[in-house]
Amino acid sequence: MSKKLNIAIIGLGFGAEFIPIYQKHPMANIYAICQRNKEKLDEIGDAFGIAKRYTDYDELLKDPNIDAVHINTPIQAHAEQSLKALRAGKHVACTVPMATTVEECRQIVEETERTGLTYMMMETVIYSREFLFVKEMYEKGAMGKLQFLRASHQQEMAGWPGYWEGLPPMHYATHCVGPVLALPKAEAEYVSCFGSGRIDENLIEKYGSPFAIESCHIKLKDTDLSAEVTRSLFNTARQYRESFDAYGSEKSFEWTLIENEDSVVHTGEIPEKVKIPDFAHLLPEEIAPFTTAGVYDDDDNQHLSFIQGAGHGGSHPHLVHEFIVALKEGRAPYPNARQSANITCVGILAHESAMNGGEKIKLPDFTFNK
């Protein structure tokens, strides 16, 4: 338990944000970094004093000193890189989504169970201060019985790298699916989704997806709860929004309609605007400051996900801490491989449902916890 875990970070755009968190975590050590562009690799390595550098991911995986990899590469690479790491004997933390197909999700789940290694999808919203606020209220019993959940993730992806152009909205849905499953600690049993509107014709051809908005109803397994999630990526006028609402018999929470304004808690029929507190007190003091500051926190040094994502709700140090502590304690993190697959497959199957007029589609058994 006293030995620090050696972590390698793969992808140094968004991934660079996590370097100082791991460096300061009392149980972790940034052992190596990996980036195909050597100039960028050396720039980051020099800035953070990291000697072990790789431009070849396969070579990195041969290094016996690496305990775990944290993958922050484009979404099409997530499944292949996660599987390679697990087969090389490394634990895996991976940015969202887990994969782009149901089959890839199945392979990752099977590989974690074959090897006994740990996989965690690093879903930011379920470790954001807003989610932690609602979670605390719910777990203390203040909300009463949970009655319904709703979430949305709306953004304009114009100007992002080309592989995003025309992406089906629900193929990148984990930011809204994650919280509606995580709050009640539930799994999605089946989905029904409708597409609405139409994106520019030149965007449709890449993925064959015509919809401007996809809206999905989710039936939660072994509960009386259902949830609704909405996702848009192109040709929809809306300020960036990652949101969730939670309705209880005693109290309900509704996310602010406008970024940086206050959210609302309803007690019975009485509304009250609330200031969401920070939850840095849940973290080791060494990494607590990273809930409000990081690598990309300067006006001249902003990553696009931060400009639109409002800093991800201070979630990054919470994600790192959950992953590291789970490895140290030999327990499953949240979300583990099956839970990550359930969250990811909701989006994949929701788009399939939308393309088939709202057909009800069941989640596969491998996405349910044993």
SS3 for the chain, per residue?
CCCCEEEEEECCCHHHHHHHHHHHCCCEEEEEEECCCHHHHHHHHHHHCCCEEECCHHHHHCCCCCCEEEECCCHHHHHHHHHHHHHCCCEEEECCCCCCCHHHHHHHHHHHHHHCCCEEECCCHHHCHHHHHHHHHHHCCCCCCEEEEEEEEECCCCCCCHHHCCCCHHHHCHHHHHHHHHCCCCCEEEEEEEEECCCCHHHHHHHCCCCCEEEEEEEECCCCCEEEEEEECCCCCCCCEEEEEEEECCEEEECCCCCCCCEEEEECCEEEEECCCCCHHHCCCCCHHHHCCCCCCECCECCHHHHHHHHHHHCHHHHHHHHHHHHHHCCCCCCCHHHHHHHHHHHHHHHHHHHCCCCCEECCHHHCCC
pLDDT at 307 over 50: no
Query: Stretch 209-233: mean pLDDT, rounded?
Result: 98
pLDDT at 167 over 90: yes
Query: Stretch 151-177: mean pLDDT, rounded?
Result: 94
The Cα-based distances of 268 to 119, 142, 248, 252, 253 in angstroms read 40, 11, 9, 8, 11
Q: Alpha-carbon distance 173 to 169, whole Å?
A: 7
Q: Alpha-carbon distance 54 to 289, whole Å?
A: 29
pLDDT at 118 over 50: yes
pLDDT at 21 over 80: yes
Which of the four pLDDT bands, split at 50, 70 and 90, describes residue 162?
confident
Question: Are 247 and 147 a contacting pair, CB within 8 Å?
Answer: yes
Which of the four pLDDT bands, split at 50, 70 and 90, describes residue 161?
confident
Q: What is the pLDDT of residue 305?
A: 38
pLDDT, mean over the chain: 94
Residue 2 φ then ψ, to 5°: -80, -25
Which of the four pLDDT bands, split at 50, 70 and 90, describes residue 295?
low
pLDDT at 310 over 50: no
Higher pLDDT, 357 or 1: 357
- Between 76-85, 157-166, 262-271, 286-295, the lowest mean confidence (pLDDT) is in 286-295
Q: What percent of the chain has pLDDT over 90?
A: 91
pLDDT at 55 over 60: yes
Query: Stretch 18-45: mean pLDDT, rounded?
Result: 96
- Between 186-200, 253-267, 281-295, the lowest mean confidence (pLDDT) is in 281-295
Question: Are 11 and 34 a contacting pair, CB within 8 Å?
Answer: yes
Strands of the 241-248 sheet, one edge to the other: 270-274, 263-267, 251-254, 241-248, 146-154, 226-232, 213-220, 188-196, 361-362
Burial class (CB in 10 A: 0-12, 13-18, 19+), 30: buried
Q: Alpha-carbon distance 167 to 231, whole Å?
A: 11
Which of the four pLDDT bands, split at 50, 70 and 90, describes residue 160?
confident
Output the CA torsion sign for 195, 350, 75, 312.
Answer: positive
pLDDT at 1 over 60: no
Q: What is the pLDDT of residue 306?
A: 37
Query: Stretch 323-330: mean pLDDT, rounded?
Result: 97
Q: Alpha-carbon distance 33 to 346, whole Å?
A: 32
Which of the four pLDDT bands, split at 50, 70 and 90, describes residue 327?
very high
pLDDT at 304 over 80: no
68-71 and 91-94 as β-strands: parallel, antiparallel, unpaired? parallel
pLDDT at 300 over 90: no
Query: Stretch 92-102: mean pLDDT, rounded?
Result: 97
Q: Alpha-carbon distance 151 to 356, whole Å?
A: 23
Q: Alpha-carbon distance 33 to 270, whole Å?
A: 51
Q: What is the pLDDT of residue 308?
A: 33
